[in-house]
């Protein structure tokens, strides 16, 4: 029996149909650069890559194109269920959950903490429920892997009542990715399962790094929301929080609008003024575009500092692991 796996990110939707019993991957692919004229649906079967243009498609249209493709390939019928990556589960979920109305409600409650991802995650779930009625739908939470962080790592130095009353703490994200690549690294590097120290760097439109000690997350760069940490495609990463009030006052705009700019108009896009896509930024930098070069340099500089800092909770470093669109290809 096959399982459809969906990962609806902030600017892409990846998918795969797998038979977990074998295991075998029948097809995998990505709808990327969503909302842009160059949006495309790319997939791979038995190592052969194919592509079609879905110019301007958002998440809704892209996911329906994915399902249409699966129907063409004869893979849409007979699915055992659908697995969904969900970014923010807060402290409510420490493992995967069958999706019920109650689970959906809790994911919706976390939208303010994951504003770029939880809405697209929920959209993917609802479209899958519509197109595959009666099928088991399971949520796998990015935050679950980081539930092993100790209090010294997840507690912010703010009034402690904020933690108890409002859940203000570091949650961490990209947990499914960090967990998987950490396990893969052990076999690739020949490291013992019971004694290893890794830093995993998930670098795409969203970026985060995690310190993994003996299979467990002990610290990570993202925090209460996916905005904290290293520089990303459209997100600033960690900046002085006083910037929000300062710029809001200077521009005469509400603080919410400034926070929205830190999430959607900053990072590679904000500094380069060109794009949130590393491929575009790298090409422009190589052609002498000054701000693209600065964006690229800041990205690498901030990332290197974050990786070095994560050696502190590990005590040593056995391997540095890169994954994600940038981590794999740049």
Q: How many residues does the chain have?
A: 330
Q: Which of 142, 164, 240, 277 is catalytic?
A: 142
Helix (H) or strand (E) holding 173: none
List Cβ neighbours of 280 (8 Å cut-off, separation of 6 or more): 274
Helix-, strand-, coil-residue percentages of the chain, each rounded to 5: 40, 25, 35
Angle between helices 118-131 and 59-72 (to 10 degrees): 40
Residue 142 falls in the annotated catalytic set: yes
Contact at 8 Å (CB) between 32 and 39? yes
Tokens of 41: 């649906």
Q: How far apart are CA 217 and CA 222, in angstroms?
A: 12
Contact at 8 Å (CB) between 162 and 168? yes
For the chain, list the strands marked E by DSSP: 2-8, 12-19, 24-32, 40-45, 48-53, 79-86, 97-98, 136-141, 197-203, 207-213, 216-220, 319-323
Residue 305: CB atoms within 10 A of its CB come to 11
Contact at 8 Å (CB) between 98 and 107? no
Q: How far apart are the first and last CA of the chain?
A: 36
Contact at 8 Å (CB) between 84 and 137? yes
Q: How far apart are CA 274 and CA 276, in angstroms?
A: 7
Please list the active-site residues.
142
């Amino acid at each position: 029996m096959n399982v459809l796996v969906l990962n609806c990110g902030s600017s892409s939707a990846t998918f795969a149909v797998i038979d977990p019993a074998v295991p075998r991957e029948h097809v995998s692919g990505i709808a990327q650069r969503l909302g842009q004229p160059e949006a495309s649906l790319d997939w791979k079967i038995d190592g052969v890559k194919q592509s079609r243009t879905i110019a301007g498609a958002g998440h809704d249209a892209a996911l329906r194109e994915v399902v249409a493709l699966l129907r063409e390939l004869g893979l849409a019928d007979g699915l055992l269920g659908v697995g969904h990556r969900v970014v923010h589960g807060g402290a409510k979920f420490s493992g995967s959950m069958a999706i019920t109305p109650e689970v959906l409600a809790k994911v919706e409650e976390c939208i303010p903490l994951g504003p770029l991802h939880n809405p697209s995650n929920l959209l993917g779930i609802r479209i899958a429920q519509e197109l595959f009625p009666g099928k088991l739908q399971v949520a796998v939470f990015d935050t679950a892997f980081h539930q092993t962080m100790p209090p010294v790592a997840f507690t912010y130095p703010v009034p402690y009542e904020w933690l108890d009353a409002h859940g203000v703490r570091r949650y961490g994200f990209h947990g499914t990715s960090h967990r998987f690549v950490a396990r893969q690294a052990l076999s690739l590097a020949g490291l013992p399962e019971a004694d290893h120290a890794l830093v995993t760097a998930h670098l795409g439109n969203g970026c985060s790094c995690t310190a993994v000690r003996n299979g467990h997350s002990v610290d990570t760069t993202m925090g209460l929301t996916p905005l904290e940490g290293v520089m990303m495609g459209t997100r600033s990463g960690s900046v002085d929080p006083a910037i929000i009030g300062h710029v809001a006052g200077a521009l005469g705009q509400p603080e919410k609008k400034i926070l929205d700019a830190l999430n959607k108009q900053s990072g590679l896009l904000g500094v380069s003024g060109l794009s949130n896509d590393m491929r575009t930024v790298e090409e422009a930098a190589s052609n002498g575009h000054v701000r693209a070069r600065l964006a690229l340099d800041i990205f690498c500089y901030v990332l290197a500092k974050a990786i070095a800092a994560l050696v502190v909770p590990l005590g040593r470093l056995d391997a540095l692991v890169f994954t994600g669109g940038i981590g794999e290809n740049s």
